[in-house]
Amino acid sequence: MIVECPHCSEDNEIEYAENIRCKKCEKDYKGFEFSKRKIITGTALALLTYIGVHTLRDEAKGYGDRYPIAVEYALLDSCINGSKNSISQSLYLSKRDVCLCALKGAQEDYPYSDFEGDSKGFVPIFRRYTKSCR
């Protein structure tokens, strides 16, 4: 077993025996408890790397500054179903795509901190994106 000396941090290869001493500083290990060093596994390292890369990629795409899901849902529902009239599925899908595009653009221009303080300021930006997304 390889044990690190608690006094000088030198690695020592030892066998179980009495009066074990560090080969460098000659101090004994009496009164210390030892355990094997734990090394991160390759799978855990790959998983952590994968999560880190995707988190950075999401931040770069702006997903880190999204509005809360309840607010996004309410805005999209209002945009898509605002007229309360029955519409065809193709018109609904087209309208949904425009509303999603407009919300994405408006979120980039109008952060949630601004929306919380002045939600009315969001409307002209959202309308501008709605026109450009058609």
| pLDDT tens, residue by residue, 51-77 | 887 777 666 555 556 788 899 999 998
Query: pTM for this one?
Result: 0.52
Average pLDDT over residues 89-113: 90
- CA-CA distance, 66 to 8, in Å (whole number)? 51
Please give the angle made by the CA atoms of 18, 22 and 7, to the nearest 5 degrees: 115
Q: Is 94 helix (H, G, I), strand (E, B) or coil?
A: helix
Residue that has been written with the tokens 């009495």 in this structure: 18
The secondary structure of residue 28, as a DSSP letter, is B
Using alpha carbons, select from 101, 89, 62, 43 the residue that is nearest to residue 51: 43
